[in-house]
Chain A
Amino acid sequence: MSGYRLENGGRIDRNRPVEFRFDGHSYQGFAGDTLASALLANGVSLFGRSFKYHRPRGIMAAGSEEPNALISVDRGAGRFTPNLRATSVEIHAGLNAFSQNRWPSLKRDFGAINDRLGMFFPAGFYNKTFMWPRSFWEKLYEPAIRKMAGLGDAPTQEDPDIYASTYAHCDLLIVGAGPAGIDAALEAMGSNKRIILIDEQDELGGGALADPALWPWLERSRKALTDASNVTILTRTTAFGYYHDNFIGAVQRLTDHMPDNSDSPREKLWRVRAGEVVLAQGAIERPLVFDGNDTPGVMLSSAAKVFANRYGAAVGKSVALMTAHDSGWHDVFALAKAGVGIKAIIDVRTEVSSALLDEANRLGINVHLNHSVTGVNGRHRVTSIQICNNDDYLGARIDCDTLLMAGGWTPSVHLWSHSKGSLAWRDEIGAYVPDQPNENVRCVGACSGGWDFGSGVIVDMLPTPKDQSRIKAFVDFQNDVTAKDIKLAVREGFRSIEHIKRYTTNGMATDQGKTSNLNGLQIASTALAKPVTDIGLTSFRPPYTPQTFGALAGHAKGALFQPTRTTNIDGWAAENGAVFELVAQWRRARYFPKMGEDMHAAVNRECVAVRSSVGIFDASTLGKIEVVGPDAAEFLNRMYTNPWKALEPGRCRYGLLLKEDGFITDDGVSARLAPDRFHLTTTTGGAARVLNMMEDYLQTEWPDLDVWLTSTTEQYAVIALQGPNARKLLEPLVEGIDLSADAFPHMAIREGTICGIPTRLFRVSFTGELGFEINVPTAYGRAVWEQLMAEGAKFDITPYGTEAMHVLRAEKGFIIVGQDTDGTITPFDAGLDWAVGKKKPDFVGKRSMARPDIVAPGRKQLVGLLTDDPNVVLEEGAQIVADPRQPIPMTMIGHVTSSYWSETLGRSIAFALVAGGHEMMGGTLHIPMPGKTHEAKVSGMVFYDAEGARLHV
């Protein structure tokens, strides 16, 4: 044996050496090694520092249950992954890994002072100590603790990797490809079932990978399954969560084991719906609880066998075993045969089978029955152990560099528990096993409690003559919870394991207590003198092991994070320098700055252009609903506040929509195209909500009405032409429509063609100017827009954005639902009582308008505000007070909802919601803003052309 690499054996490829780095040092391993096995083979025993006490820690396990050896892997800028388990990281050329939670270095760690002070850090220490004074927590304790304790660093740069994602469906999903999982797959393979077989490791086999006698069977099985067309094999894939109706989330690691970063996805999220699930997740060996059981070099006995037989790495040169279970004996026999020096077997039991004793004798291994380890010497590596007799406490010292623990087995019931399957306690194995399923699922193999590891006894702690209050016997290695902590929690009155867990943090680390839950339960059980089943059971929650955010996000990042909806005219706006804003999911042009213009200048220019000549605006995002059927008018009459039955075809009406609670939820201008056909418009953000609300009433309250609703938002591109020259511009382009004022009055709709394209032409105005809204089939939106721009050049046509639109509508006193209303505003509050059909017996929201709170005085009402200083533009959202001299905190009676500079009026204008505002016309209100409190007079909301002279031309 050279170093710690065994001469023979293992599944590593000794012809393919691999160079990698750990904490800046170069090491060599072989293809097939994990970071753990390669470093062990190099004689490395120290892998990290513990969470709270910064105690030196080595490898404890060989799989994903490893609690100690958390490391970070740096794959370059933005590709830093903390908190990986060294036992699950495959080495590859260039792998650059680091230990965590140490400063300045792993061997000389400043935080280790915590360990010397350990007696001052009992369970609940943080809760008790750092509570007062409160400000100290944020400023002093928390930052200090965060720096000293904790996991790896979170990456700070954007993740450049890409992640794939898919749904998958199968008749049978098998989680775990150890012998039991493989058998289940082989058995089902001959059927025509679609089978998915998932395993977290890089190759199939599970426990069989550490048992060379099974390798020929494994190879035959692997080939049979690979050849079967109905079997999908996913290795390096972790089923992390089991959700309702046999929905399983799994992450497949695609590239992390490869030397180079690639353009292909790093990981893939599988969202699997399975007819039946077979869980074959195996069992996890349990550590034993004794003083010094966390010293580097103390590890699970099964892990030592995996390192020897699978990876050809010896965990030590002189190895002792502390066991309570037959399986430990078999492990060290295997180690001895692989060439690892075995120093002694210490068994807590007084009797074991003669077969074991005979084999130990044959291999020349010293055996100490009815003995326990009571101490471990060595700080960065075991140098010797203390053992003593359980009855007379007579002891001895054994020199060794490694101590194995075999405390029995815990079935891995995590996913079973996610699925809400019940568990039953089995005394003889001291563990919970799956009982009644809650889904179509069954457990096979070791995770069902059926195994052939032999028998053992369950001990909560090894007997010791030492003062129990002065020893560190770890239960949860990752969260640094000792047996003493759990006993303290019990002494302080905690009775349920759920409370003990939260108080001590036992089982609350990233490993979710895979190696600690059962020992914690046993210790609590003894301390409470109650059976385990009376103390309860903690729940397991997804994820089974930590997963990257990238994998969970899948392709929902960057441009695919969420859809940005664009109109047909959006491309033109982009090419012509528009500045955009998002409105709901839509990207809308906010303004079109010319060279050197800021937003203020651009908006002023756009507003003046509309008022003086003609502006053009992309209104395509307005929601549109086509309401068709014999009962269309009756339906709208019931939905909207105003009357619809008498509206003539060809005419439009402003519609106000309330919720049943009487508050405004949407508005829009709608047109009657025919006796049984209406073209509704809604706000941009309200389109889906309004359609859903209307469908709700139609389907469930008035199913007798013969009327149907169809979203036509995206059927039409909508171009608003607004301004005194709008008609002159349109006239030569439109056919089949008489545009004259008499033939086509304000609030009318006509159908014809524009530039040869069919159009629904509305004569409407959200600006107070002569205006048209041109609806054309969406695909032609941009072409018609460009024609209008070309023809409009002689009128100096000006494209304007949402910002100018807001100013223009505010000058005219038009509200924007959702900006000037907030879901608690009635039509009366908004000054829109003219839009309520007083004679209608019923409409949605009518009854609520008579509710006591709605008719009570003092409601917030929408009013206009004119600042005493016309140059002051109030901040939207600014609070309003009646008396600025009152003591702070002042009584706020309302707030500013809309506020703009009006270039047309040469002053600022604003809307505000003010308690009792309608009664305050002409009165002065005060608006405190940074630096100064401003005065404003309450006014009506129409600031421009109140008589509508500009509209009816």
Chain B
Amino acid sequence: MSDALFRNEPVSSTPYVADGVSISLAAPLKRYSLRARTAEALETVLNVKVPQKIGATEGGIACLGPDEWLLRTPAEAAMPTGAGLPVAITDISERSICLVLEGPRAAELLMTGCPLDLDNFAVGRATRTIYETVEIIIIREGADRFHVEVWRSFAAWLWTAFTAAASH
């Protein structure tokens, strides 16, 4: 992609650091919505392992629903289109940005507005959920590290909400 034109991101590229948690914008990712009736149908097209269980992640692919997966990859790899096959592969790289919450208070910060019990949310798990009124996808990358995917137009609000909650 052109180097001549700059990317314009909805939140600051400077991490916000508070006591016990930092909030930062992840580097750009390629994202694809993968849809099919079964994980096997996608495995045939993509030639990679696709997790079966809702919430599971494997190789950058998170199973979000019975027929929905999210692939996130830093690579510029060519994706098959799935043309003519009973699958749907859609480029959603720019639909969302990813905020990284990191530190011993990361889960506590997320729980200020997310109603899930994150004490019982295993590392490696992913789910679509909500922070107050804004839909998000959370991926627990580590005990103290969450990726929070949020649609671009809501990102500024979420950043403000996170930084306010982290400062409390």
Q: Please, could you name 23 A-B residue pairs with CB atoms under 8 Å apart, sorted by A?
A: A167-B115, A168-B111, A169-B119, A273-B115, A555-B112, A555-B164, A560-B157, A563-B154, A568-B152, A571-B8, A628-B82, A629-B86, A629-B87, A674-B81, A674-B83, A676-B83, A708-B67, A711-B95, A714-B95, A778-B95, A779-B28, A780-B5, A783-B8
Interface centre among A268, A712, A715, A781 (most CB of B within 10 A): A715
B117 touches A273 (CB 8 A): yes
Known interface pairs A194-B119, A273-B117, A714-B152. Does A757 touch B88 (Cβ–Cβ under 8 Å)? no
Q: Nearest Cβ in chain A — how far from B36, in angstroms?
A: 8
Known interface pairs A628-B89, A711-B95, A715-B93. Does A559 touch B4 (Cβ–Cβ under 8 Å)? no
A586 touches B153 (CB 8 A): yes
B1 touches A707 (CB 8 A): no
A166 touches B112 (CB 8 A): yes
Q: Nearest Cβ in chain B — how far from A638, in angstroms?
A: 17
Q: Which of A273, A706, A714 contacts B153 (CB 8 A)?
A: A714
Top 7 A-B pairs, shortest CB-CB distance: A756-B2, A565-B153, A708-B35, A628-B88, A708-B88, A563-B157, A783-B5
Q: Which of B90, B111, B132 contacts A628 (CB 8 A)?
A: B90
Confirm or deny: B156 has a beta carbon within 8 angstroms of a beta carbon on chain A: yes
Contacts of B52 in A (CB 8 A): none
A778 touches B115 (CB 8 A): no
Contacts of B152 in A (CB 8 A): 568, 714, 778
Contacts of A716 in B (CB 8 A): 94
Known interface pairs A563-B133, A629-B87, A676-B83. Does A271 touch B10 (Cβ–Cβ under 8 Å)? no
Interface residues of B in 96-135 (CB under 8 A from A): 96, 108, 111-115, 117, 119-120, 132-134
Contacts of B133 in A (CB 8 A): 562-563
Contacts of B82 in A (CB 8 A): 628
Confirm or deny: B43 has a beta carbon within 8 angstroms of a beta carbon on chain A: no
CA distance A132 to B26 in the complex (A): 68
Confirm or deny: B54 has a beta carbon within 8 angstroms of a beta carbon on chain A: no
B157's nearest neighbour on chain A, judged by CB, is A563
A566 touches B5 (CB 8 A): no
B5 touches A164 (CB 8 A): no
Q: Nearest Cβ in chain B — how far from A243, in angstroms?
A: 13
Q: CB-defined interface of A621-638 with B at 8 Å, one 1/0 digit per residue? A: 000001011100000000
CA distance A237 to B6 in the complex (A): 50
Contacts of B35 in A (CB 8 A): 628-629, 708, 710
CA distance A233 to B38 in the complex (A): 47
Beyond the given A165-B113, A628-B88, please list 5 additional residue pairs across the A-B interface where CB-CB is below 8 A. Answer: A166-B165, A563-B133, A710-B35, A711-B95, A783-B8
**Chain B residues in the interface with A (C-beta under 8 A):** 1-2, 4-10, 28, 33, 35-37, 67, 81-96, 108, 111-115, 117, 119-120, 132-134, 151-154, 156-158, 160-161, 164-165, 168
Known interface pairs A562-B133, A711-B95, A714-B153. Does A782 touch B168 (Cβ–Cβ under 8 Å)? no
Contacts of B87 in A (CB 8 A): 629
Interface residues of A in 314-361 (CB under 8 A from B): none
Known interface pairs A165-B112, A782-B8. Does A630 touch B119 (Cβ–Cβ under 8 Å)? no
B89 touches A167 (CB 8 A): no
Q: Nearest Cβ in chain A — how far from B161, in angstroms?
A: 6
Interface residues of A in 565-599 (CB under 8 A from B): 565-568, 571, 585-586
B95 touches A712 (CB 8 A): yes
A757 touches B1 (CB 8 A): yes
A620's nearest neighbour on chain B, judged by CB, is B153
A167 touches B96 (CB 8 A): no
B94 touches A706 (CB 8 A): no
B5 touches A167 (CB 8 A): no
Contacts of B85 in A (CB 8 A): 630
CA distance A585 to B28 in the complex (A): 25
CA distance A140 to B9 in the complex (A): 59
A710 touches B112 (CB 8 A): no
Indicate the size class of the contact surface on chain A. Answer: 35 or more
CA distance A568 to B157 in the complex (A): 14
Confirm or deny: A148 has a beta carbon within 8 angstroms of a beta carbon on chain B: no
CA distance A264 to B10 in the complex (A): 27
Known interface pairs A273-B117, A555-B165, A779-B9. Does A560 touch B94 (Cβ–Cβ under 8 Å)? no
A756 touches B91 (CB 8 A): no
A757 touches B2 (CB 8 A): yes
Q: Which of A167, A714, A784 contacts B113 (CB 8 A)?
A: A167
Q: Which of A629, A630, A707, A779 contacts B94 (CB 8 A)?
A: A779
Confirm or deny: A844 has a beta carbon within 8 angstroms of a beta carbon on chain B: no
Contacts of B115 in A (CB 8 A): 167, 271, 273
Q: CB-defined interface of A92-130 with B at 8 Å, one 1/0 digit per residue? A: 000000000000000000000000000000000000000
Contacts of B158 in A (CB 8 A): 563
A559's nearest neighbour on chain B, judged by CB, is B160
Interface residues of A in 611-627 (CB under 8 A from B): 626
Interface centre among A556, A710, A712, A783 (most CB of B within 10 A): A710
Confirm or deny: A226 has a beta carbon within 8 angstroms of a beta carbon on chain B: no
B5 touches A706 (CB 8 A): no
CA distance A264 to B88 in the complex (A): 48
Interface residues of A in 152-192 (CB under 8 A from B): 162, 164-169
A784 touches B5 (CB 8 A): yes
Contacts of B90 in A (CB 8 A): 626, 628, 708, 710, 712
A757 touches B113 (CB 8 A): no
Contacts of B156 in A (CB 8 A): 566
CA distance A375 to B150 in the complex (A): 69
CA distance A561 to B33 in the complex (A): 31
Q: CB-defined interface of A738-780 with B at 8 Å, one 1/0 digit per residue? A: 0000000000000000011110000000000000000001111
CA distance A585 to B135 in the complex (A): 14
Contacts of B10 in A (CB 8 A): 566, 568
Contacts of A710 in B (CB 8 A): 33, 35, 88, 90, 92
CA distance A676 to B90 in the complex (A): 12
Interface centre among B4, B94, B132 (most CB of A within 10 A): B94
Contacts of B4 in A (CB 8 A): 755-756
Confirm or deny: A564 has a beta carbon within 8 angstroms of a beta carbon on chain B: yes
Q: Which of A628, A715, A781, A787 contacts B95 (CB 8 A)?
A: A715
Contacts of A628 in B (CB 8 A): 35, 82, 88-90
A264 touches B168 (CB 8 A): yes
Contacts of A782 in B (CB 8 A): 8
Q: Nearest Cβ in chain A — how far from B81, in angstroms?
A: 8
Q: CB-defined interface of A710-725 with B at 8 Å, one 1/0 digit per residue? A: 1111111000000000
Interface centre among A568, A708, A711, A755 (most CB of B within 10 A): A708
Contacts of B81 in A (CB 8 A): 674, 677
Contacts of A162 in B (CB 8 A): 164, 168
B120's nearest neighbour on chain A, judged by CB, is A169
A164 touches B86 (CB 8 A): no
B151's nearest neighbour on chain A, judged by CB, is A714
Confirm or deny: A43 has a beta carbon within 8 angstroms of a beta carbon on chain B: no
Contacts of A787 in B (CB 8 A): 5
Contacts of A264 in B (CB 8 A): 168
Confirm or deny: A884 has a beta carbon within 8 angstroms of a beta carbon on chain B: no
CA distance A167 to B35 in the complex (A): 33
Confirm or deny: A940 has a beta carbon within 8 angstroms of a beta carbon on chain B: no
Confirm or deny: A17 has a beta carbon within 8 angstroms of a beta carbon on chain B: no
B157 touches A756 (CB 8 A): no
Confirm or deny: A150 has a beta carbon within 8 angstroms of a beta carbon on chain B: no
Q: Nearest Cβ in chain A — how far from B78, in angstroms?
A: 13
Contacts of A560 in B (CB 8 A): 157, 160-161, 164
CA distance A566 to B158 in the complex (A): 13
Confirm or deny: A837 has a beta carbon within 8 angstroms of a beta carbon on chain B: no
Interface centre among B8, B108, B113, B133 (most CB of A within 10 A): B8
Q: Nearest Cβ in chain B — how far from A128, in angstroms?
A: 46
Contacts of A629 in B (CB 8 A): 35, 86-88
A167 touches B114 (CB 8 A): yes
Q: Nearest Cβ in chain A — how far from B130, in angstroms?
A: 11
CA distance A712 to B37 in the complex (A): 21
Contacts of B36 in A (CB 8 A): 708
B111 touches A630 (CB 8 A): no
B41's nearest neighbour on chain A, judged by CB, is A706
